Amino acid sequence: MRLLALNVLLAANLAYGFEPEVRFLTPDGVSFILKGKSIFIHEPLLSNVMIEVQTEGHQFYEKNAKRIAWKDQALTMRSLVESCFIDDGVWELSFTELNVNSGEDLRYRITAYYKDEIQVTEWKTHKLQTLRPVRSMKRAVVFRDDFNSFNKNDYKIDCTAWGGGNGEFQVYVPEDANLFTRDGSFFLKPTLTVDHKDFDTNRLFHGRMNLKEMYGYCTMADNWGCDKSAVNGNVLNPIMSGKVTTNAVITYGTVTVRAIIPKGDWLWPAIWMLPRDWHYGGWPRSGEIDIMESRGNQKAVCGGNDHGVGEVSSTLHWGPSSNHNAYGKTHGERQNKYCNWHGWHTYKLEWDANHIRTTVDGHEVLKVNTPSGGFWNWGGFHGSNIWASGGRNAPFDQPFHLILNVAVGGGFFSSGCQYDHTRPWSNSSPRKEREFWDHRGDWLSTWHGDNSAMQIDYIEMVQA
């Protein structure tokens, strides 16, 4: 049984060394949190911090937390092994691989490396215990995938050039270059269409993409999603990418995904859920649960806030039509101001009839309590209540699948934001794919190998 994460708060007074306080946070292994900006920002002689951990079972781990560079008097930091999470002066390193149980002793030691000396704390011991009693509610693991291989029978694999409701530029394909496992991780990686053996630049500009002929099936025909030709000066979808949907569903419970989100301009990773039966009608009448979305751009400043890779968001979509979608009432964001979210983090959904909550590494992103009068009244919609036949929390009272994908471009990237390079397309343009492709010199250099992929360590769906 994996235990609530360990949280070590390091005192900022370096004259007395590091004296950690131990407490628990979340059910995802062990996390060490270094608190106090003066440890790093006001200590230029401190070059590195190492944390060593030993369990009762004699597992031994060590990780480094290192200062990278100074910029405009502010310190940029990251972990060499796991990306950091910094919020109000708190820097977190996660040991999610630890297998520990309540009642066990955990030993830890912290080493601080200065320019002229090394400070080492004594080995400390802390008895692990949970913060709150385990709920008596019955729970069952409906589906778990640790991705030692990619079992395609567990998923529906999208195959379409539709572009989604936001007019994205990718074609989802069941290619090994876009969906694959390596060293226990599942990769959803966008690639250039011209790098595919059946395509080149000439075919991108003048050819045809018939997915049924290429793969034997197509999952969405809208907007020439199954059979597309490059016409009227436009190009075929210039990016190939991956999207999978679990066959498994849950109604209430938890969904946990440990992932690295991609970094690179115009990349749009998502961990989300859609209903199995569309019981209340088409989108968004039957709801949508976005556990995690992000933008891969290093800079995406809108209204003074950066909505790039330094931010993850969660959203519920619900309403009688796409023009009457009250998602603005159910949207949350979490900033990672001093580094970014490109690193291993644990994204989680907690869902029951009374609330929906999402977290990253145990930190809340969104919490929506079921409105006392139901979502229809809260949304202020007119006409007959389309959810009257359901529960008070309808439409979020039905079975939902889990979806993983990496999209590229489209309306998710607002033209009103400031980016490192101006957004090269107009959403209303009939040649937006061509506009995107013609400016690849600006964005392709930000896609660095596997950094442009979303990597998944594991997913777990638990039915309550």
pLDDT of 74 reads: 29
Tell me what pLDDT residue 64 has: 56
| pLDDT for the residue numbered 118 | 82
Domain of residue 43, CATH code: 2.60.40
Contact status, residue 96 vs residue 116, Cβ threshold 8 Å: no
Listed as ranges, residues in the chain with pLDDT below 50 are 1-28, 35-44, 65-91, 131-136
Rounded to whole angstroms, the Cα distance separating 75 from 248 reads: 44
From 127, 151, 177, give the residue that closes a domain: 127
Contact 275, 398 (CB under 8 A): yes
Q: Which pLDDT score, from 0 to 100, does residue 96 have?
A: 52
Q: Are residues 109 and 149 in the same domain?
A: no
Quick one: 424 and 462 in the same domain? yes
HSE-up of residue 132 (Cα within 13 Å, Cβ side): 6
Q: What is the DSSP letter of 135?
A: P
pLDDT of res. 101? 67
Spatial separation of the C-alpha atoms in residues 34 and 87, rounded to whole Å: 11
Question: Is 262 domain-assigned?
Answer: yes
Residue 58's pLDDT is 65
Residues 154 and 275 in one domain: yes
Indicate the residue among 127, 150, 175 that finishes a domain.
Answer: 127
307: tokens are: 């909505």
For 301, the token pair is: 């400043």
Residues 209, 68 share a domain? no
Q: Tell whether 176 and 91 lie within a shared domain.
A: no
Q: Say which residues have a Cβ less than 8 Å from residue 188's Cβ, sequence separation at least 6.
A: 178, 179, 241, 242, 243, 244, 269, 404, 405, 406, 453, 454, 456
CA distance readout (Å), 44 to 41, 114, 337:
7, 9, 20
Domain of 51, in residue numbers: 6-127
Identify whether the C-beta of residue 22 lies closer than 8 Å to the C-beta of residue 46.
no
Alpha-carbon distance 300 to 418, whole Å?
Answer: 6
Determine contact, residues 263/420, Cβ cutoff 8 Å. Answer: no
In a domain, 1, yes or no: no
Nearest to residue 211, comparing CAs of 247, 236, 234, 235? 236
Dihedral of CA 295/300/266/342: which sign? negative
Per-residue pLDDT at 89: 38
Find out whether 211 and 221 touch, Cβ atoms under 8 Å: no
Q: State which amino acid sits at residue 215.
A: Y
Pairwise CA distance, residues 255 & 253, whole Å: 7
First to last CA, the chain: 18
Domains of the chain: total: 2
Residue 364 lies in a domain: yes
CB 46 within 8 A of CB 106: no
Q: Buried b / exposed e across 254-281, counting CB within 10 Å, b at 16+?
A: bbbbbbbbbbbbbbbbbbbbbbbeebbe
Tell whether 82 and 29 lie within a shared domain. yes
Closest listed residue to residue 274, CA positions, set 388, 460, 174, 399 = 399
Residues 352 and 289 in one domain: yes
Element (H, E) at 292: strand 288-293
∠ CA 192-196-197, rounded to 5°: 160
Confidence at residue 10, expressed as pLDDT on a 0 to 100 scale: 36
Last residue of a domain, one of 102, 127, 152: 127
* Distance (Å, whole) CA 80 – CA 78: 6
The span from the CA of 270 to the CA of 404, in Å, is: 6
Please tell me the predicted confidence (pLDDT) of residue 339.
63
Q: Are the C-beta atoms of 29 and 96 separated by less than 8 Å?
A: yes
Residue at 161 is within a domain: yes
Q: What is the pLDDT of residue 136?
A: 43
DSSP letter at 276? S
Same domain for 141 and 58: no
Instruction: Indicate if 61 and 198 belong to the same structural domain.
Output: no
For residue 403, give the CATH number of its domain: 2.60.120.200
Rounded Cα distance, 37 and 289, in Å: 35
Model pTM?
0.78
Residues 312 and 398 in one domain: yes
Q: Are residues 427 and 342 in the same domain?
A: yes
d(CA 296, CA 265): 5
Q: Which of 372, 340, 369, 344 is nearest to 357 (CA)?
A: 369
Sign of CA dihedral 395, 311, 171, 191: negative
Whether residues 123 and 202 fall in one domain: no
| Rounded CA separation 332/345 (Å) | 17
